[in-house]
Amino acid sequence: MAEQVDKSRPIANTKVFTDEETRRGYRLNKFAMSLCKPQNRDAFKENEEAFLAASDLTEVEKQLIRDRDWRAIMDEYGGNIYMIMKIGAVIGQGLYQIGAHQRGQTYEQFLDTRNASGAR
Amino acid sequence: MAKIVAGIGTSHVPSIGVAYDQGRQEEPDWKPLFDGYGPVKEWLKEIQPDIAIVVYNDHGCDFFFDKYPTFAVGAAETYPVGDEGWGRRPLPDFPGDADFSWHLCNSLVYDEFDITVCQEMEVEHGFMVPMHLCWDHDDGWPVQVVPVAVNVIQHPLPTAARCWKLGQAIRRAAESYGKDRKVVILGTGGMSHQLNGARFGYLNSQFDNDFLDKIESDPAALTAMTHQQIMEEAGAEAVELIMWLTMRGAIEGPVRQVHRHYYAPMTTGMGLIALEAAS
Ligand SMILES: [Fe+2]
């Protein structure tokens, strides 16, 4: 089997969404995917605690969402960015806010690093 | 027969869709991107393809990791605009050509591509952004579409070489179709970008421009790249670029470049190349 992802050469500051990640993050990503349905978005916005309680997330995972801890969700708990963005959208934090948090920067600091930040 | 007359490689960044829906095309930081597609729009009006095959990936709209197909092909008369988590975009649904799609599916499977055949398929930004960048649609879409979804988000992904071979098989399928049709194929995604980890926002414009050179003149060199190489050099999410190879495999052989554009304002290298089969 020719290796396409070389696990002996981890890329710095990077999570490659492999089998380990998708298995680890399955519940969180599935929770996020449920927000493609408008009624779930409405329920989340109306009462976040009740919506979390009705989910099958673990207490740790629920706390990650309460804390908006995007860095940990992505780095440690198997979040897939395309799914996790859906949680951000309901909360009012877009991709670039999630990204800034992953970089350990404020949103403004992150925007300052871009070539033309009006294109957002 | 159906003839694949042209290929387009293009990014499909979701923020382009948001800017488009908000009518921000003339804002200084967005204008270069939208203006970059003008010549391609004009060229497509001239060549008037009947069918657009759009190779894209689903980012969690109609597919989830419970069952995520490696290759999925639409075989419907219409493809509704999906809801990715921020509501349905104000675009018309997309007309399909189920006869052509089923021919494609039959041909691909007997050609040893074991695709998932989709009689219902909701499309999302990976598919829609390239469509509205390339075609006006005030009176509905002027082409019929075939969505071809590729897994480029949950490893193991198909190899770059496999994506190229899929393009070759799509071409064989088209050429064995019983009706005359003019087909354009779009390979979408990328270019350099990374959306996870502290490396979020990583860009490599040199890699992107080199890729634009090679997709035209030396695509075989690109088919030899591993996912690891692409991710190291261009960011983890840049691996989407393997879908451009399906486009190029479908117009294998000499091509004429019609237009090329590149702009990297935020976190993704937004590339565009339009190629015509030089027959
Ligand atoms: Fe994408």
Q: Do the beta carbons of residue B6 and residue B51 sit within 8 Å?
A: no
> Out of A9, A86, A96, whose CB is closest to B228?
A9
ipTM: 0.96
A chain contacts of residue B265, beta-carbon cutoff 8 Å:
114-119
Catalytic residues of B: 125, 193
At B279, the pLDDT band (50, 70, 90 cuts) reads low
Bridge partners of B2? B181
pLDDT tens track for B180-199: 999 999 999 999 999 999 99
Rounded Cα gap, residues B151 and A7, in angstroms: 20
Length of chain B: 279
Interface check A68 vs B, CB under 8 A: no
Pairing of strands B144-150, B51-56: parallel
DSSP chain B: -EEEEEEEEE---HHHHHHHHTT-TTSTTTHHHHHHTHHHHHHHHHH--SEEEEEE--SSSS-BTTB--SEEEE-SSEE-B---SS---S---EEB-HHHHHHHHHHHHHTT--PEEESS--B-HHHHHHHHHH---TTS-SSEEEEEEE--SSSSPPPHHHHHHHHHHHHHHHHT-SS-EEEEEEEE--SS---SSTTTT---HHHHHHHHHHHHH-HHHHHT--HHHHHHHH-GGGGGGHHHHHHHHHT-S-EEEEEEEEE-SSSS-EEEEEEEE--
Q: Which residues of B110-133 are buried (b: 16+ CB within 10 A; e: fewer)?
A: eeebebebbeebbbbbbbbbbbbb
Give the span between the Cα atoms of B56 and B240, in whole angstroms. 8
A109 vs chain B: nearest CA distance in angstroms?
Answer: 13
pLDDT at B278: 85
Q: Would you call A35 an interface residue with chain B, using a CB distance cutoff of 8 Å?
A: yes
Give dist(CA A111, CA B263) in Å, integer. Answer: 17
pLDDT at residue B247, as a whole number: 98
A89 touches B: beta carbon within 8 Å? yes
Q: Render pLDDT for B265-274 as a digit per residue (tens, 0 to 9).
A: 999 999 999 9
Contacts of residue A27 in chain B, CB cutoff 8 Å?
Answer: none
- Answer CATH for B2-277 from 3.30.1950.10, 3.90.650.10, 3.40.830.10, 2.40.50.100: 3.40.830.10
% of residues, chain B, pLDDT over 90: 98
Q: Which amino acid type is present at position B147? A: P
Looking at residue A1, what is its pLDDT? Answer: 63
Each residue's pLDDT tens digit, B108-162: 999 999 999 999 999 999 999 999 999 999 889 999 999 999 999 999 999 999 9
Question: Mean of the per-residue pLDDT values for chain B?
Answer: 97
pLDDT (tens digit, 9 = 90+) per residue, A42-73?
999 999 999 999 999 999 999 999 999 999 99
pLDDT tens, position by position, B220-260: 999 999 999 999 999 999 999 999 999 999 999 899 999 99
Give the pLDDT band (50/70/90) at residue B212: very high
> Which domains, from first to last, does chain A contain?
19-112 (1.10.700.10)
Q: Which residues of chain A have pLDDT under 50?
A: none
Task: For residue B185, list its beta bridge partners.
Answer: B7, B53
Long-range contacts of residues A94-97, Cβ cutoff 8 Å, at least 24 apart: A94/A120, A95/B14, A95/B15, A95/B195, A95/B267, A96/A120, A96/B266, A96/B267
Domain boundaries of chain B, sorted by first residue: 2-277
DSSP B119-138: SS--B-HHHHHHHHHH---T
CA distance B43 to chain A (A): 26
The pair of three-digit structure tokens given for residue B162, joined into one six-digit string: 């496999």
Tokens at B69, concatenated = 């197909």
A-chain residues near B267 (CB < 8 A): 95-96, 99, 114
